[in-house]
Structure 1
């Protein structure tokens, strides 16, 4: 079985921290968990720090770590970035690397394009991009096998996560709520 990613939406940072705690307690490494959410507080700060009139395409370093708390702060590679057409975001985990390329290159497609590149079907990727734009948090978990996929889905369902889906390169996704 190829590696799979399980995606879900958390409606608050508190819920996201609860989900992350549960995932870690279930045996998932913080290196396999990603979170992506809008950064509403520092758009002007990014533009000022970068000395530019348009923050689009900017990738800002680990200073975003001070913005998040709880388990979110323990995830690998927390960073802030601005995606063209989407705006400022905070990302942590493997999604940060995928999205940093989009931001640095000012590539069209934004979050949805990056998620499609990671194996998420376009319709799901666009839904996640819209949910993030509404202020929700996208959580992804990388799983090595079907047992881990089921364990992650159970954790997400039990925590009340929404729009749970499983994706893998070259395979049709499964979607559930």
Structure 2
């Protein structure tokens, strides 16, 4: 199976922390996890303004530092007004370099990352309202379903679902 990106919007930093912690507890590393947020949102969330220090935190870190560890390797995209880390970062890098209009650039970049256009528009709107986009590259079809449930349970909205059949994996959450 080709890796599939599972995404959802969270409205609070604590929901982002909870999402990242739960995903990492399933064996995913920060390299498979994406966080996308506005520049201003990251500045508010970085401990003492030093998100880079969080990059030294280990993979089994607690929730407060797990999300910051993902952000520790983030890249700013001033043309888009965003900070991104993880697999979505590469798609944004292409959009940031040639973004004619910031909104079109972000939606196009999210589509390039594998997110359907209608969902990318929803994510664009949410990011502009201060939400945080959480994404995980699922390593199996079964993990797609588990990750969808994990993100929903952690408070994510608009979770992208390609699965045709939902299964009750609540015991894994």
Tell me whether the two structures share a fold, i.e. TM-score over 0.5. Answer: yes
More strand by share: 1
Cα distance per residue 1:18-63 (max 9 Å; x no partner): 11001000111211100001112799xxxxxxxxxxxxxxxxxxx7
Following the alignment from structure 1 to structure 2, what is the Cα–Cα distance between the partners of residues 95 and 15? 19
TM norm structure 2: 0.74
| Change in CA separation of 1:160 and 1:130 when aligned onto 2, cut-off 3 Å | same
Q: Which segment is superposed worse, 120-129 or 109-118?
A: 109-118
1:151 aligned residue: 146
TM norm structure 1: 0.73
Partner SS state of residue 99, structure 2: coil
Following the alignment from structure 2 to structure 1, what is the Cα–Cα distance between the partners of residues 158 and 93? 24
Query: Structure 2: 5+ residue runs without aligned partners?
Result: 44-49, 56-63, 167-173
Q: Which segment is superposed worse, 101-110 or 129-138?
A: 101-110
Residue 82 (1) aligns with residue 69 (2)? no
Cα distance per residue 1:100-128 (max 9 Å; x no partner): 22112234422210111122111111010
Does structure 1 conserve the Cα–Cα contact (< 8 Å) formed by 2:51 and 2:69?
A: no
2:121 aligned residue: 126
Does structure 2 conserve the Cα–Cα contact (< 8 Å) formed by 1:77 and 1:96?
A: no
Count, aligned residues: 148
Question: Which of these residues, 29, 39, 52, is aligned with residue 65 of structure 1?
Answer: 52
Following the alignment from structure 1 to structure 2, what is the Cα–Cα distance between the partners of residues 64 and 29? 18
| TM-align CA RMSD | 2.7
Following the alignment from structure 2 to structure 1, what is the Cα–Cα distance between the partners of residues 31 and 52? 16
Query: Structure 1: 5+ residue runs without aligned partners?
Result: 44-62, 168-172
1:166 is displaced (CA, Å) by 3.3
Following the alignment from structure 2 to structure 1, what is the Cα–Cα distance between the partners of residues 35 and 121? 16
